[in-house]
Structure 1
Amino acid sequence: MQKKSFNELGVNSDIVRALSKCGITEPTDIQEQAIPIIKSGKDIIGKSKTGSGKTAAFGIPLLDSLKHSSNVQALILAPTRELAVQISGELEKFGKYTDLKFATVYGGVSMFHQVRDIKKADIVIGTPGRVLDHLNRKTLKLSELTHFVLDEADQMVDMGFIKDIEKILRYTKKKKQMILFGATISHEVELIRRKYMNKPFVAESEVHVTEEYLEQYYYNVQKQKKFSLLVHLLNVEKANQIIVFCSSIRTVELIAKNLKAQKIKSGMIHGKMNQNKRMSAIKEFNNGNQNILVASPVAARGLDIKNVSHIFNYDLSKDPQEYVHRVGRTARAGESGKAFTLLSSSDHPVFRQILQDYDLNIQEVIIESFPRVDFDVSSAKRSDNRFGRSRGPRRNSSRSNNSSEGRSRQRFGNRRSNRNDSKPSEGRSRSFGNKKSRPSSFSRPSRNKNPKSSKVGSTILNLRSR
């Protein structure tokens, strides 16, 4: 089926002209589905992966539906300050030739300028906490609101914002258009749909990165050797821009510090950094001044981080969904990418869950040897907060990479795919199904005598202990 143009979707010519100035000349799949629904005034749930053009999918018809007035007509909630700033910047570019006004509100900065901007704004973009602050201070009124947008709704639920969202909704009138976007629809998001939405239409494009563009690999490695393997791979992989994901703030800080000790230039971003430092780190990475960014999962959702060729998962979050969001930072807009996951024993349970929940082809790479480097665990503030869904009591975690991992090994993979991928720069890859591996001087073949096999969906898990 031939794609429709923005003009054919009924988008105002001034907005089409602004889109053209931004290099956006034809709609993506999610935009083609969502724009007509939103323009018709119906409630909508949009589901698509990061990088699919979600902001434009709801932003374009929103700009097209509004005219400047003395009241706030639309509220867009985002889970993080960075995403709120990004959405605001995109809408200002798309609405360049309109007379609509915008206000961006988030915590950590003075409210003075925000109050001034809100008084003139047609559209307010903000984080739930700061929006509630303004509502409580009566510096923001939503009595005339006609459009309510939740972007990255699943992440907002994960971060515990569900009660704040419901409090904000109580300040709005019942008759309004509800627009909800996210990569997945959790039980809590389903509750919002049932309680606050009116027979919403669903617009859904491809939620996961396709295997045509994304190569995925994993290494089984003892925890005390994990950093050495990371350094080795960073040195041998021919990469443009790299994100190294870590599941705790402490690990982000440790990895960034130890990379610096190895004379490997990198930036870092995590949720405890102040706003200016986080935005500066993203800017440095996007500008190419840093080609390695060590990140907590705050960077995996929604943020405009450009030209990422490689993802390294230093460890895994407790939430299986997080893996999909992390690897979704590469292989975007038709470009190819690679994702490497370093597995020690504590990562195996969630990795098995990932393979059960998602139909993925992740190949194992077995590497015989690599140089050992020092890993200094001192002078890092302890913070074992995980960025998964679980918000219960803190589990016991290792203080360093020096704890013994034992000798256990596990095999993971996917039965369905028969495609011969190009291999990583060293090691021998192995995946389940009909994949064939290409030998390398760094590798030895993977042997699997007397495996125990367990089939879950289309995924086979072979488990062998040494």
Structure 2
Amino acid sequence: MTTFQSMAIGENLLLGISECGFQKPTRVQEACTEKIAGGESLFVTARSGSGKSAAIAIAVIQKVNASNPKIQVIILSARFKLAVELEKAIQQLGRHKNVRAHAMSAGSPWMQGTQILIGVPNFLLEKMRSGTVNVSNAHVIIVDDAEEMDRFSGSINELINFTSANINQVCFLGSTIPSSLVAHARDFDVHIDDISVVEKHDVEHYEYEVKNDVEKMKRLREILMVNDNAIIFCNSKSTARFLHSALELPDHVCAMMDGELLPRKRDILVDSLRSGDLKYLITTDVESSKLRASLVVMYDIPTCLEVYMDRSHRVCRGKAVSLVKPSDKSRMKLIKDTPRSV
């Protein structure tokens, strides 16, 4: 069995991995982490939530020369939320290696000494063109969540042309790789291998129709009675707070998490849920790459497919249940009718 210790990972990084609670590599981490760290260019396809972003984080921490304060790696994310999650993962995993990652946006101050630059393609391209950031020392481009990147195809192509003189490694990771990105990748003078990781588990999707909020609450109670590990998603903080109060469960059994909770307290709740000390977590769509549960209940129907996929495929490890009122049916139909990449 492959372990992080059996992979070509330095002691300082292994310490960070252990402190973050990672016990063994996922299949995709096992398949591609060492290859990315070793300089290979790859197309990596694996389902959402399989650990691709952590594979990127571990690999780039190994690649970066910590004594060089220049940008060495560019990571493209489909959304700033995902860029922030990846920045946090790199900083936590690489805390003993003095590696500096920065998720760049219009509202974020520039971090001097940034070695790993993360951001949305069109925004980073604008900053490169204007000279706001100097990427002349960057030699690696990694595209995360490639399945969401088709809409940035033009920006990615221009970014590739802008940096191609110095780049010697390109990697694309996603549940699928859009054909437009494959075509752009061929513009680099590098050989790109394909890695496809098929996960053993699939998410089962269920819909329960309820007439009103009273019936919805009753159905939720019935679901929780026969499940001892669940994340319950709400669309607003007010609904999450109401639900937490209405369920009348002790805090050590059921907790609530929203965007106002400090990151450290969020991590404590997430770790308690993963360890089984906490049974149920009621939450809004907050940023936490470690959220996992065997059951996900969508007390409120998501506003779009993107949010539905975040809840069901990034978080869920078993069953995804949607509680659908008559007023939710049109939104649920739109979600189901929208083409998916996973």
TM-score (structure 2 length as normaliser) = 0.74
Which residue of structure 1 aligns with residue 164 of structure 2?
173
By how many angstroms is 1:43 displaced?
Answer: 1.0
Task: Please point out which of 40, 46, 49 is paired with 1:48.
Answer: 46
Deviations 1:274-301 (A, max 9, x none): xxxx474887665549932244xx96xx
Q: CA RMSD in A?
A: 3.9
Displacement after TM superposition at 1:205 (Å): 2.2
State the Cα deviation string for residues 339-384 of structure 1 (Å, max 9, x = none).
2134565344764788x998xxxxxxxxxxxxxxxxxxxxxxxxxx
Residue type of the alignment partner of 1:16: L
Aligned residues: 317
Equivalent residue, structure 1, for 2:94 = 95
Separation (CA, whole Å) in 2 of partners of 1:197 and 1:236 = 58
1:145 aligns with 2:126: no
Q: Quick one: which amino acid aligns to residue 144 of structure 1?
A: N
Q: Hey, what does 2:9 align to over in structure 1?
A: 11
Match of 2:155 in 1: 164
Report the residue type matching 1:326 in the other structure: R
Query: In structure 2, do the counterparts of structure 1 residues 264 and 12 end up closer, same or farther at CA, with 3 Å as the change threshold?
Result: same
2: CA distance between counterparts of 1:353 and 1:126? 26
Which residue is 1:206 aligned to? 198
Q: Where does 1:192-341 land on structure 2 (aligned, <5 Å)?
A: 192-196=184-188, 198-206=190-198, 210-211=201-202, 215-220=204-209, 225=211, 227-238=213-224, 241-244=230-233, 252=235, 256=238, 260=242, 264=246, 278=259, 280=261, 287-288=268-269, 291-295=281-285, 303-307=289-293, 309-312=295-298, 314-315=300-301, 325-332=310-317, 337-341=318-322
What's the secondary structure of 2:28's corresponding residue? Answer: helix
Report the equivalent of 1:79. 78
- Partner Cα separation in structure 1 for residue 244 and residue 8 of structure 2: 55
1:172 Cα shift?
1.0
Unpaired stretches in structure 2, ≥5 consecutive residues = 248-254, 271-279
Task: Output the TM-score relative to the length of structure 1.
Answer: 0.57
Cα pair 2:240 2:284 within 8 Å, conserved: no
User: How do 1:349-388 residues align onto structure 2 when only pairs under 5 Å count?
Assistant: 351=336
Higher relative contact order (CA 8 A, sep 6+): 2
2:17 counterpart SS class: helix
User: For 1:103, what is the secondary structure of its paired residue?
Assistant: strand
Aligned-residue sequence identity (percent) comes to 20
CA distance in 2, matches of 1:206, 1:243: 27
Q: Residues of 2 paired with 1:187 and 1:242: CA distance?
A: 35
Residue 260 and residue 127 in structure 1: after superposition, are their counterparts in 2 closer, same or farther (change >3 A)? same
> 1: distance between equivalents of 2:126 and 2:341?
38
Pairwise CA distance, 1:310: 2.2
Q: 1:133 to 1:284 in 2, by over 3 A?
A: farther
Task: Pick closer, same or farther for the CA change 1:313–1:170 going to 2, 3 Å.
Answer: farther
Q: Give a deviation string over 1:92-143, Cα, whole Å, max 9, x none.
A: 2322332433333223x253xx1xx2x4122122233542453244221112
Q: Which amino acid aligns with 2:180?
A: E
Aligned with 1:184 (options 161, 171, 176): 176
Deviations 1:306-358 (A, max 9, x none): 55742327447775x875543224444xxxx432134565344764788x998
Q: CA separation in 2, counterparts of 1:50 and 1:263?
A: 32
The 10-residue stretch of structure 1 (51-60 or 162-171) with the greater mean CA deviation from structure 2: 162-171
User: What letter is aligned with 1:173?
Assistant: S
| Change beyond 3 A, Cα 1:308–1:45 | same
Matching residue of 1:69: 68
Q: Rg bigger for which structure? A: 1
Structure 1 residues 142 and 58, CA gap change in structure 2 (3 angstroms) = same
SS in 2 for 1:92: helix
Secondary structure in structure 1 of the residue aligned to 2:162? coil
* 8 A contact 1:267–1:285 mirrored in 2: no
Q: For residue 135 of structure 1, what is the aligned residue in structure 2?
A: 128
2:18 to 14, 17, 20: 20
Of 29, 32, 36, which residue of structure 2 is paired with 1:38?
A: 36
